[in-house]
A and B are shown apart, each in its own frame.
Chain A
Amino acid sequence: MASSLETAENRGDLRRVVIDPVSRVEGHGKVTLLLDEAGHVREARLHIVEFRGFEVFIQGRPYWEVPVMVQRLCGICPVSHHLAASKALDHVVGAAAITPTAKKLRRLMHYGQILQSHALHFFHLSSPDLLFGFESEVGRRNVVGVAETYPEVARQGVMLRRFGQEVIRATAGKRIHGTGSVPGGMNRHLAAEDRDALRADIGQVIEWSRAAVELVKRLHRSNPGLYDQFGAFRANMMSLVRDDGAMDLYDGALRFRDGDGDILLDGIPDAMYRSVIREQVKPWSYMKFPYLQQLGPDDGWYRVGPLARVQNCDFIPSPLAEAERREFIDHGNGSPVHATLAYHWARMIEMLHAAEVLRDLLDDGDLLAGSLLAGGERRLEGIGIIEAPRGTLIHHYEVGDDDLVTMCNLIVSTTHNNQAMNTAVREVARRYLDGRELTEGLLNHIEVAIRAYDPCLSCATHALGKMPLALELIEADGSVAGRLVRD
């Protein structure tokens, strides 16, 4: 059982091997392995080593600043935080139902982000492992290597990402950390010239997205043993699902399935998340370990993100992606697909879906006109949940009568996947590294497993850390700039 590799006995006697930093992911993390004399892996952990403190310093700020501030949690998926905070604060301003125009503009922005983030992850960060092999030469294993060897693949990745970023710019004014969504709605329409420019390119974007799904399927067919078994383990799944069972990345209610694919919980409204999800803290990571309360911390952890979403929904509401989803489901022969590398396949299906949604939205005249803001009875609490590129993202705020935030709780996508990533690390360590001389290429297997989850470790490090001891930091000119402190 891989989970037994979480904590070894006699830790002091074991040899430590470290992967630091985990590269080609967003944010800061490292992996430590403890090995015995025979090279057997006795412990394997993914540590999240960065601390930032958003949950605390948001408190005391006026609520209307929050959707802009929290974007700085992440430069890859700022829109997710922008929108999750806005959705939560819609409740605070009494606008639980925003206007159709505002909702469509938010969806446009969000699906643009899904497209750009999925393209970035697959083409810029993960594809070198899959195209060249996990043990290929380090210097080549990056997007530059892909551009040299597979120029058309690299170009499509860059252009897909560019399109998604342009959708964000058109709706938020800036590609990264823009302003568009506000509590109660949106602050601008889409300009007709932006709409026209995006419409001119969307057909090509859909074709490239289809090609990306084909590329992943080709990779699976080329080595089914690897793709079906690498880092495979049974896990529960969680995502938002629309009330008719459709995949919906902007809105919906929580659904949980177990590892056999049976529904455990369904239709949990966002406001009820606290009644089903709890979090565990472990001393060796700043990232918490969420779990489904009714199953407890040992059995209740779950996966989120594309692999969960594609299997948790009943259908994808766009034809090309739905056809691909069915092929994916068939691949499981009646059981859920639990292989870690299948995340890439599911992610590209979602990218295709995002392109289809964008195409349909760009034909909708509501984007260019109509009421942008709604309001209602002022409230003191708001919870907003969205399906970010990496999975379910929860923002929860309490706001005082003076409009200042009094409480902020965030459970970000990568945090939901914390136990799943640790389990993947242990599965891969046990299967590929155990008892062997550890080379860079073998260690990269661990990173390949982590990368499949598309972790966003900046997002996941919104909390603050503990200071281990006192140490002075001396400036370049010799003066004391600060201290490191341990209680």
Chain B
Amino acid sequence: MTDKAPLPKLRVATTSLAGCFGCHMSFLDIDEHLFELVQIVEFDRSPLTDIKHCGPCDIGLIEGGVCNAENVHVLREFRANCKTLIAVGACAINGGLPAQRNHLDLGDCLQQVYVGRDGIEGGRVPDDPELPLLLDKVHPIHEIVRVDYFIPGCPPSGPVIWKFLTDLIGGRTPRLSHPLLRFD
């Protein structure tokens, strides 16, 4: 019998861009598998940790599309730091429901919501420099950076995320059987 040092844990970062956090919730829907997962991975930047900037990682999971300058910045930081980048869910893959705004005129929308609605006092469009620049369209992440894998679904279910990650971590090409491959 040989004393083998434990393998170094894989480092995983996750973030949400213009999404609803539903894909992160599905990630937590792996339920008790979470305790198995943390035996083999460590979390870097993620909404579950207090790490504010992504460092060098093996796997990056991105939920949500790109709707503003901050999203672009975070996405590029992830791409630069993550060996494998995965687009998780409809918004990251094609913009999802937030991209419904792509056919609207932003100026009109802002006027409606911040000035034109009933019950508003001192209506004006927020414009402080602390608010990030907004894109005129919501973009899927592959338009900004190279993406290695796409997991479809709104959101993909917990079992899908578990199967995908365990395949990837186990050195297998991730395969989702037909019942797991859903887009709703």
**Interface residues, chain A, CB within 8 Å of chain B?**
20-21, 23-28, 30, 32, 45, 47, 49-53, 55-57, 69, 72-76, 78, 120, 124-125, 138-139, 141-144, 147, 151, 154-155, 158-159, 161-162, 165, 174-177, 274, 277-286, 288, 297, 409, 444, 447, 458, 463-469, 471, 473, 475-476, 481-487
Contacts and interface: CB of A to CB of B under 8 A. Distances in A.
Given A57-B100, A69-B97, A50 B68 contact: yes
B157 interface: yes
Given A20-B52, A69-B97, A50 B107 contact: no
B120 A72 contact: no
Contacts of A57: 100-101, 104
Contact of A286 (B24, B126, B146): B126
B114 A463 contact: yes
Contacts of A53: 98, 100-101, 104, 109
Contacts of B31: 158-159, 161-162
Contacts of A51: 67-68, 134
Interface string B106-131: 11111011100111111111111111
Contact of A73 (B20, B70, B130, B132): B20
- Top 3 nearest A-B pairs (CB, nearest first) are A75-B22, A284-B128, A53-B101
A56 B113 contact: yes
B114 A281 contact: yes
Q: What bracket does the count of chain B residues touching chain A fall in?
A: 35 or more
Given A464-B134, A466-B134, 19 more contacts: A28-B16, A28-B70, A49-B68, A49-B132, A53-B98, A57-B104, A75-B19, A75-B25, A75-B26, A78-B20, A141-B50, A176-B25, A274-B119, A282-B126, A447-B50, A458-B16, A473-B139, A476-B144, A481-B144
A475 B18 CA distance: 18
A467 B32 CA distance: 43
A399 to B, nearest CB: 16
B97 A75 contact: no
Contacts of A141: 49-50
Interface in B40-82: 42-43, 47-52, 66-70, 72
A44 to B, nearest CB: 12
B134 A52 contact: no
Contacts of A24: 47-50
B29 A165 contact: yes
Contacts of B48: 24, 124-125, 142-144
A75 B21 contact: yes
B161 to A, nearest CB: 12
B134 A465 contact: yes
Nearest to A55: B113
A471 B51 CA distance: 29
Which of B98, B119, B123 gathers most chain A CB within 10 Å?
A: B119
Contact of A281 (B124, B131, B139): B124
A458 B16 CA distance: 10
B92 interface: no
Given A55-B113, A176-B155, A465-B134, A155 B35 contact: yes
B28 interface: yes
A53 B96 CA distance: 13
Contacts of B98: 52-53, 72
A464 B101 contact: yes
Contacts of A158: 31-32, 34-35
A125 B21 CA distance: 14
B148 interface: no
A176 B43 CA distance: 23
Contact of A74 (B20, B139, B142): B20
Contacts of B24: 75
A56 B52 CA distance: 32
Most buried by A among B130, B155, B158: B130
A53 B101 CA distance: 6
B167 interface: no
A72 B20 contact: yes
B28 A23 contact: no
B134 to A, nearest CB: 4
B176 interface: no
A45 B139 CA distance: 29
A124 to B, nearest CB: 7
Nearest to A138: B50
Contacts of A50: 18, 67-68
Contacts of B145: 476
Contacts of B93: none
B140 to A, nearest CB: 10
A280 B144 CA distance: 36
A483 B135 contact: yes
Contacts of A56: 101, 104, 108-109, 112-113
- The interface centre, meaning the residue of B48, B50, B119 with most chain A CB atoms within 10 A of its CB, is B50
Contacts of A464: 101, 106, 109-110, 113, 134
B154 interface: yes
Contacts of A49: 68, 70, 130-132
B137 interface: yes
Contacts of A483: 135-136
Contact of B43 (A25, A73, A142, A285): A142
A77 to B, nearest CB: 10
Contacts of A481: 139, 143-144
A469 B131 CA distance: 12
A442 to B, nearest CB: 13
14 contacts: A120-B28, A139-B49, A139-B51, A143-B34, A161-B28, A175-B26, A175-B158, A177-B154, A464-B134, A465-B110, A465-B126, A466-B131, A467-B133, A486-B133
Contact of A466 (B16, B67, B123, B125): B125
A473 B135 contact: yes
Given A49-B130, A464-B101, A464-B113, A283 B21 contact: no
B23 interface: yes
B168 interface: no
Contact of A467 (B20, B106, B108): B106
Contacts of A27: 16, 21
